[in-house]
Chains A and B, each alone.
Chain A
Amino acid sequence: DAKTTQPNSMESNEEEPVHLPCNHSTISGTDYIHWYRQLPSQGPEYVIHGLTSNVNNRMASLAIAEDRKSSTLILHRATLRDAAVYYCILRDPNSGYALNFGKGTSLLVTP
């Protein structure tokens, strides 16, 4: 399985941008990069996904390196509600394309 590596934790001030990095040096050419987040005491929720080009949606932006060995999730203006664990994920083709979770990055947002 291709794996991802993320920092254990990051901290941000409210209303400032946040850049959450992820390394996936063994990614295959067809693997999409998925980001999910898990708010306290809740199930994970989808944030964004992409293959090669940078992607934007109402929640965040995803910047993918040209060699695809790394990516960065960008929250443009962090709010207190964005405090969560953020997971950078590659799907597992051998398990019904299940999401392959690591430990993720715990984001602390301070007022």
Chain B
Amino acid sequence: NAGVTQTPKFRILKIGQSMTLQCTQDMNHNYMYWYRQDPGMGLKLIYYSVGAGITDKGEVPNGYNVSRSTTEDFPLRLELAAPSQTSVYFCASRGSGTVNTEAFFGQGTRLTVV
């Protein structure tokens, strides 16, 4: 049972480079989320999706883009990496049953921008 899978686990980017953080889930969940976590802080919401083809901004969307072409995948794109985007990124998903269904998180992607 894979759950939520994120790749890569670690990445070092140079300033101005681009990359895509991959997130896939095998639980047929409609809701998916991207968070970032800076050292010593809680998670902050970057983008979310309530279903395939529907995405919306969270609290800290600047510098990021997302797409949701399938139920399973929710990639996060960084177009012009900046040092301020050094963080740990977590993807999460949950089912649609009620608003209180349990959310499942991936293991995270640790990104360093130098």
Contacts and interface: CB of A to CB of B under 8 A. Distances in A.
Contact of A97 (B31, B104, B106): B31
A96 B49 contact: yes
Contacts, number: 60
Q: Which range contains the number of A residues in contact with the other chain? A: 20 to 34
Given A87-B42, A97-B31, A98-B33, A43 B108 contact: yes
A42 B56 CA distance: 26
Interface in A79-107: 87, 91-93, 95-104
A100 B113 CA distance: 26
Q: Which range contains the number of B residues in contact with the other chain? A: 20 to 34
Given A42-B108, A43-B90, A43-B108, A99 B103 contact: yes
Given A96-B49, A101-B43, A43 B31 contact: no
Given A43-B92, A92-B45, 12 more contacts: A43-B4, A44-B103, A91-B100, A93-B99, A95-B56, A95-B59, A96-B33, A97-B99, A98-B48, A98-B58, A99-B103, A101-B42
Interface of A: 32, 34, 36, 41-46, 49, 87, 91-93, 95-104
Interface of B: 4, 31, 33, 35, 40-45, 48-50, 56, 58-59, 90, 92, 99-100, 102-108
8 contacts: A34-B100, A42-B108, A46-B103, A87-B42, A91-B99, A93-B99, A100-B45, A104-B42
